[in-house]
């Protein structure tokens, strides 16, 4: 009696590999725009929070030193009021810079998205 040995090839067919690549491409097409949008939202929120902290420090500086409403503090004047031990001004997360402005004007950001009135809803005045 003869027994036949069947040779089996292990591996994936071209169709199976193409289906897997298509699924990965579809997931990437869905996920990457959401990741970019979430990153931009996070950076915007961080900038808005930094503007709020700068404004609070600016108001505390003005009260402590009895400044008039049109006085503008230097960034080094605000360091003790920012709540960061020995730290400098917060960095702008999108690569811009912050404008401190006088006491009666809200601080602004050099990035156009945040320097508009978007941050006005989050500031306490």
* Residue 10 pLDDT: 79
Residues 49, 34: Cα–Cα separation, whole Å: 22
* Residue 92 pLDDT: 86
The dihedral of CA 73, 78, 79, 80: what is its sign? Answer: positive
Distance in Å from the first CA to the final CA of the chain: 96
Q: What is the full per-residue pLDDT of the chain (125 aa) written as tens digits?
A: 667 677 667 789 999 999 999 999 999 999 999 999 999 999 989 999 999 999 999 999 999 999 999 999 998 899 888 876 556 788 888 888 899 999 999 999 888 554 444 444 444 44
pTM greater than the 0.85 cutoff: no
* Residue 1 pLDDT: 63
């Amino acid at each position: 009696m003869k027994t036949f040995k069947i040779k089996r090839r292990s591996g994936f067919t071209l169709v199976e590999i193409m289906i897997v690549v298509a699924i990965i491409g579809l997931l990437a097409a869905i996920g990457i725009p959401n990741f970019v949008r979430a990153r931009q939202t996070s950076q915007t929120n961080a900038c808005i929070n930094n503007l709020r902290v700068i404004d609070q420090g600016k108001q505390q500086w003005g009260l402590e030193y009895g400044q008039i409403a049109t006085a503008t503090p230097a960034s080094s004047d605000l360091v003790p009021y920012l709540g960061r031990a020995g730290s400098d001004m917060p960095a702008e997360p999108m690569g811009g810079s912050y404008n401190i402005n006088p006491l009666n004007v809200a601080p602004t950001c050099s990035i156009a998205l945040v320097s508009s009135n978007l941050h006005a809803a989050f500031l306490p005045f």
